[in-house]
Homo-oligomer: A and B are copies of this chain.
């Protein structure tokens, strides 16, 4: 269930000589809405780095590229929380153009770690609660 939507316009620096979005940059676009999501649920990255209470590294990422995107194209990105584990969670991203046609998708698997040791830790309780609400579509 989608919990957050945002728009993104493809920039020149996102594209390459083939005239389309360079595939790796779709992951950047997905991460942008993830950063916005974290901020909205009260766990923004700025606070993560300042407080150093827990980090959220990505251990797996994947994406589909259904339609070529070119400079100036505006797309809608929808984020949903797909799964919540003991020390991990999965986010999904759907990218559609302004005609509502799917142009791509992405999925990122995150774990929670101790910033000092970089070892996995359980999802902090307050953060887990927010993820669970988000999974149901509320933020």
Query: Could you list which residues of chain A lie within 8 angstroms of chain B, going by C-beta atoms?
Result: 11-13, 15-20, 22-25, 27-28, 31-32, 35, 39, 44-46, 49, 55, 57-66, 68, 70-73, 108, 118
Contact = CB atoms under 8 A, between A and B. Distances in A.
Given A13-B22, A68-B118, 18 more contacts: A11-B32, A11-B35, A12-B16, A13-B24, A13-B25, A15-B17, A16-B16, A18-B49, A19-B49, A23-B58, A23-B108, A24-B24, A35-B71, A39-B72, A46-B70, A49-B70, A57-B65, A60-B64
B57 A71 contact: no
Nearest to A39: B72
A73 B45 CA distance: 11
B39 A13 contact: no
B59 A60 contact: no
A21 B26 CA distance: 17
Contact of A72 (B12, B25, B46, B59): B46
Chain copies in the assembly? 4
Contacts of A18: 12, 49, 55, 57
A108 B65 CA distance: 11
A71 B55 contact: no
B65 A62 contact: no
The 10 closest A-B pairs by CB, nearest first: A62-B62, A46-B72, A24-B27, A15-B17, A23-B58, A12-B16, A45-B71, A24-B24, A17-B19, A24-B28
